[in-house]
Amino acid sequence: MTRLFGVIGDPISHSLSPAMHNAALRAKHLDAVYAPFEVPRRWLAPMLRGLVLAGVEGLNVTVPLKEAAVPLMHRLDPAAQACGAVNTIVVRGGRLHGFNTDGVGFAQALRELGWRPGPVRAVILGAGGAARAVAWELGRAAGSRITIANRSRGRAVRLTRWLRRVRPQVGVGVAPLSQVPLQGATLLVNATTVGMSPRDGLLIPADALHHGLVVYDLVYHRTTRLVAEARRRGCVAANGLSMLLYQGAESFRLWWNRPAPLAVMRRALEQAIQA
């Protein structure tokens, strides 16, 4: 029987995950489909029950349901537990196991840029859900220093309090967006939504982008101005497409217990973005 997987969110029609995962299923000759399901937040619990009853074996979870899904899981992996957000569900025997693969995806995307795991001096722009997953992942390395720069200071402070609790081995600071401390930093991550529109400018002065700085922009829709400017100034820089790919590959591995076909999935993502 054809096996069923999918992604839930609201809205969901823009999601690139169906293109990426259906390409992977085809490439691996798996008798399965991956469908988008629009799930309004207030209907999450009953719709999730319905999808499980209908035989769904695995789901991705996207905006605005990642946090709301947490209390509906029977088990959580450490990343989902710590971040308070689920982006992958594995269904086994009617029980829901929640994972968060965003951090793994981010780490893998950095490795693609030549990054080696270890202590880092990082500045993260943004303090939302994506910034949290990035901070959790970077916080693995004892001795790291992570500065959060966000438009609203209150949210940045909340994120740093959380980070000190879940990653006590790292140094944590807050900075205003107007004075982002990039001197001495080795990594800059944009985890804001700035860059999603082609009209968006830079959040930081371009001349702060110094040689030796690695720049990763979670926005995956295009080569953002930040990425273009960073490359122009000699930085290694990439947009968020690779993170999207690797978090999806990790979901695939969790569902199928085998490595994902990365090249096929990347091609599908690139084609879906251009469509």
Ligand X SMILES: NC(=O)c1ccc[n+]([C@@H]2O[C@H](COP(=O)([O-])OP(=O)(O)OC[C@H]3O[C@@H](n4cnc5c(N)ncnc54)[C@H](OP(=O)(O)O)[C@@H]3O)[C@@H](O)[C@H]2O)c1
Binding ligand X by CB under 6 A: which of 6, 126, 139, 261? 126
To the query of whether residue 66 is one of the catalytic residues in this protein, the response is yes
Closest CB to ligand X among residues 160, 247: 247
The two three-digit tokens of residue 116, written as one number: 């080696």
Binding ligand X by CB under 6 A: which of 46, 78, 152, 258? 152
Residue in 21, 66, 132, 167 annotated catalytic:
66
**Residues of span 39-78 touching ligand X by CB under 6 A:** none
In sequence order, the 6+-apart residues with CB closer than 8 A to the CB of 255 are 5, 57, 58, 90
Is residue 244 near ligand X by the rule CB under 6 A?
yes
Select from 83, 78, 80 the least CA-distant residue to 60: 80
Closest CB to ligand X among residues 3, 231: 231
- Residue matched to tokens 């879940």: 166
Distance CA 59, CA 140 (A): 27
Identify whether 181 is preceded by a cis peptide bond (ω within 30 of 0).
no
Binding ligand X by CB under 6 A: which of 36, 98, 129, 261? 129
Cα dist from 134 to 4, 22, 147, 194, whole Å: 30, 27, 12, 16
Q: What x-and-dash track marks residues 169-188 binding ligand X by CB under 6 A?
A: --------------------
The two three-digit tokens of residue 34, written as one number: 């991956």
Report the relative pairing of strands 214-217 and 236-239 from DSSP bridges.
parallel
Binding ligand X by CB under 6 A: which of 73, 130, 188, 214? 130
Give the active site residues.
66
Contacting residues toward ligand X, per CB under 6 A: 102, 105, 126-131, 150-152, 155, 191-194, 196, 203, 218-220, 240, 243-244, 247
